[in-house]
Amino acid sequence: MSSVRIATWNVNSIGARLPRLLDWLQTRAPDVAALQETKCADATFPYAELEELGYQAMHVGDGRWNGVAVVSKVGLTAVADGLPGLTEPRYASAECGGLRVTSVYVPNGRSIDDPQFRYKLGWLDTLRASLDGVAAQSPMAIMGDFNVARHDADVWDIGAFGGSTHVTAEERARLEGLIDWGLTDVRARPGKGDRPFTYWDYRAGMFHKDLGMRIDYVLTSSSVPVYDAYVDREARKGRLPSDHAPVIVDLDLAT
């Protein structure tokens, strides 16, 4: 067996976050990282800077919004740059050192009465359908910003979410459908407080009050033994952070 560190992080613009991303890659040293909201076109993706740190990269992006990437220093072969019928750059899947790694940026949904909400549900249905015919035992990690809080305890106060997206039964049923297919929702060990939030709104001092949400997930298949997982809160602190913190997961892979 060999130890492999994987991570997911919504960077909220790789351009604005590049110094922090490069520092984070060096200090946390994930073998493979899934990134979301790169907000750049392929032409401006920092392939060279990542390569200097030993990372190969696959990026799917078209500029202003969305954009996902997989970066790896244990080898990388691109497998899929999207889901059938869905054109926005929200899905990148690659084979990395024997592990199939998929970076997803699920649509936000905006509000329940917005057409974007139906789009979000359909997007999650398509993600689930992409697993039809796939062997559930094969080593894989699907990770990213799902924009769904799985349980009431995954938001700071469920009472504040009446009529909101991210906590509806429809969204949760689709997240559960992925798990029921055969994936494990890797639970990060508690850090500050007892709930492993991964996102805090920039406004109103939400991070400092720990009024957050757990909406970023690492979903692993049963053949991937996980021995540690934590939310890297340090990456949410200081000057010009993303509004998301990374989830870092250590696992053993058969060599």
In the complex with DNA, the residue whose CB is nearer, 32 or 45, is 45
Whether 124 contacts 91, CB under 8 Å: no
Vertex 45, ends 42 and 49: CA angle to 5°? 150
Whether 116 contacts 79, CB under 8 Å: no
Site for DNA in 21-50 (CB under 7 A): 39-40
* Residues 239, 103: Cα–Cα separation, whole Å: 26
Which range in 12-20, 92-100, 133-141, 167-175 contacts DNA by CB under 7 A? 12-20
* Residues 184, 204: Cα–Cα separation, whole Å: 33
Query: What mask of x and - would describe binding to DNA in positions 70 to 109, judged by CB under 7 A?
Result: -------------------------------------xx-
Count of residues that interact with DNA, criterion CB under 7 A: 26
For the bound state, the minimum distance from the C-beta of residue 106 to DNA, rounded and expressed in Å, comes to 10
Candidate residues 29, 80, 158, 206; the one interacting with DNA per rule CB under 7 A: 206
Where do runs of H (alpha helix) occur along the chain?
14-28, 47-52, 115-129, 169-182
Whether 109 contacts 115, CB under 8 Å: no
Strand order from edge to edge, sheet including 68-72: 56-60, 68-72, 32-36, 2-10, 247-253, 226-231
- Counting contacts by CB under 7 A, is residue 12 touching DNA? yes
Lookup: tokens for 113: 């009465």
* Residues 218, 216: Cα–Cα separation, whole Å: 7
For the bound state, the minimum distance from the C-beta of residue 253 to DNA, rounded and expressed in Å, comes to 32
- Counting contacts by CB under 7 A, is residue 160 touching DNA? yes
Vertex 110, ends 194 and 205: CA angle to 5°? 45
Q: Provide the terminal-to-terminal Cα distance of the chain, rounded to the nearest Å.
A: 6
- Counting contacts by CB under 7 A, is residue 122 touching DNA? no
Site for DNA in 228-247 (CB under 7 A): 240
- Counting contacts by CB under 7 A, is residue 121 touching DNA? no
In the complex with DNA, the residue whose CB is nearer, 64 or 189, is 64
- Counting contacts by CB under 7 A, is residue 112 touching DNA? no
For the bound state, the minimum distance from the C-beta of residue 64 to DNA, rounded and expressed in Å, comes to 4
In the complex with DNA, the residue whose CB is nearer, 18 or 131, is 18
Q: How far is CA 227 from CA 28, 148, 183, 235, 249, in A?
A: 16, 25, 16, 22, 8
- Counting contacts by CB under 7 A, is residue 132 touching DNA? no
- Counting contacts by CB under 7 A, is residue 201 touching DNA? yes
In the complex with DNA, the residue whose CB is nearer, 126 or 138, is 126
In the complex with DNA, the residue whose CB is nearer, 153 or 254, is 153
Please report, as ranges, the residues that interact with DNA according to CB under 7 A: 12-13, 15-17, 39-40, 63-65, 107-108, 110, 116, 157, 160-161, 164, 201-206, 211, 240
